[in-house]
């Protein structure tokens, strides 16, 4: 059972480039989330989804977009990368709002 | 709005010593509280959670936390530290909606364990 899988593990982008961070889970969880982790700041929620076709903004959504066409996949899109988006990005999933979050191992993104 | 404050960004203890990681929260509604642990280059893993049942919550790896409403605290303890406990620990509280799916995380406390 792979759990939550994120790709790539590392990426360097130039300012203005775009990319998609991939996230897939094989636990049939309805709830999926994207967080960013900055040093000394904890984790901030970017977007979340309560099921296929349904997404909503979290605390820091500006500069990002998401989609949820299937239960398994929840990609995060950066359209015009900025240095402020340098961070470690974590995808997570849960069976229900009452269930613990299962995290992927993260994507370390640097924008220069 | 809910918030979480973790006192001490770095804590260092000797192997075998008591571990105490502090967490204070603010919440206008009865909170759900969590401790997560993050090992190097990995995602977060749930240590334990408080959901308004017993105020003393036992988690994995010998950790426990006590919910104290009067002090708005949820400190994490372990009687005897092990080298493998070295990691970063995050306290989290459920968001304003009261649902688990909008967790507010603290800034984290990095625990170092030395021989």
- Print pLDDT tens along chain A (112 aa): 689 999 999 999 999 999 999 999 999 999 999 999 998 888 999 999 999 999 999 989 999 999 999 999 999 999 999 999 999 999 999 988 777 899 999 999 999 9
Q: Which of A42, A48, A101 sits opposite B106 (nearest CB)?
A: A42
Rounded mean pLDDT, B26-31: 77
Alpha-carbon distance values, A50 to A22, A32, A45, A72, A77 (Å): 18, 7, 14, 12, 18
Query: Could you say which residues from 44 to 83 on chain A have a Cβ atom under 8 Å away from some Cβ of chain B?
Result: 44-45, 48, 50, 58
pLDDT attached to residue A41: 84
Contact B90 A48 (CB under 8 A): no
Apex CA B91: angle with CA B2 and CA A107, to 5°?
105
């Amino acid at each position: 059972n792979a759990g939550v899988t994120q790709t790539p593990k590392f990426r360097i982008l130039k300012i203005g480039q775009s990319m998609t961070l991939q996230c897939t889970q094989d636990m049939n969880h309805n709830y999926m989330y994207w967080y960013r982790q900055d040093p000394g700041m904890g984790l901030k929620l970017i977007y979340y989804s309560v099921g296929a076709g349904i997404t909503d903004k979290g605390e820091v959504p500006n500069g990002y977009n998401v989609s949820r066409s299937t239960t398994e996949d929840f990609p995060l899109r950066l359209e015009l990368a900025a240095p402020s988006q340098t961070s470690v990005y974590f995808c997570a999933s849960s069976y229900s709002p009452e269930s613990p979050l299962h995290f992927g191992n993260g994507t370390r993104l640097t924008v220069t | 709005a809910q918030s979480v404050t973790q006192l001490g960004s770095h804590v260092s203890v000797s192997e075998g010593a008591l571990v105490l990681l502090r967490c204070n929260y603010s919440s206008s509604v009865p909170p759900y509280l969590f401790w997560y642990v993050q090992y190097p280059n990995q995602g977060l893993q749930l240590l334990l959670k408080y959901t308004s049942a017993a105020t003393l919550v036992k988690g994995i790896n010998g950790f426990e936390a006590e919910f104290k409403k009067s002090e708005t605290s949820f400190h994490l303890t372990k009687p005897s530290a092990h080298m493998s406990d070295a990691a970063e620990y995050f306290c989290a509280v459920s968001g304003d909606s009261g649902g688990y799916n909008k967790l507010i995380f603290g800034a984290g406390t990095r625990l170092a364990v030395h021989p």
